[in-house]
Amino acid sequence: MDTKLLTGLITAVLVAVVLLMIGLGWRNRLRRQADVEPLPAVPEAPGVPVAGAEGQYVASTTAGDWLDRIAVHSLGIRTNAVLTVYAHGVLFDRTGAPALYIPAGSLTAVRQESGMAGKFVEKDGLLVLTWNLGTHELDTGFRTRRAADKDVLHDSLQQLIATAPQADPQSGK
């Protein structure tokens, strides 16, 4: 047998095994996270935005654990998105994934980080929103396309958190 053919077959088998293991790992993660509550409904007519920017939705992770991606509800999928801040909450309009709406009362903090869940950028290059989804506390990362937009969004989000009544995580409201 030709060594090039043998090398190609071995490589193909190894790639197939790795892809199978990745698929099984993601399926097991979905199973472990089956208790994550459904996402809040996206408002049909959200109103006038306070601020917004194009960029990249990085992922949602368990709060405080920047490597523990949330797989359910497509929250662990990196995609292009538009982040819009409204007086009542935050909307991530994600390309190729369902929109994510976070009511203002569910937001608990916003900070700037240099990375999370496989995305690393310059110092303070990501906006990370901490919020409650039922009994789960999550961190959601967003990278603005233009650096100047990040500061405007950060200020708007801090103002939203400061003025919004906080939701009760036990009741989900």
Residue 13 lies in a domain: no
Predicted TM-score (pTM) of the model is: 0.78
Under DSSP, is residue 9 helix (H, G, I), strand (E, B) or coil?
helix
Structure token digits, residue 67: 């490597």
State the residue range of the domain holding 142.
Answer: 51-163
Q: How many domains does the chain have?
A: 1
Residue 18 lies in a domain: no
- The two beta strands, 115-116 and 119-120, are antiparallel
CATH number at residue 157: 2.30.29.30
Query: Of 70, 79, 77, nearest to 136 (Cα)?
Result: 70
Q: What is the pLDDT of residues 14-45, one digit of tens each?
A: 999 999 988 887 677 667 777 778 888 888 88
- The two beta strands, 51-62 and 79-86, are antiparallel
Residue 124 lies in a domain: yes
Q: In three state form, how does the secondary structure of 103-119 look?
A: EHHHEEEEEEECEECCE
Q: What is the pLDDT of residues 52-61, one digit of tens each?
A: 999 999 999 9
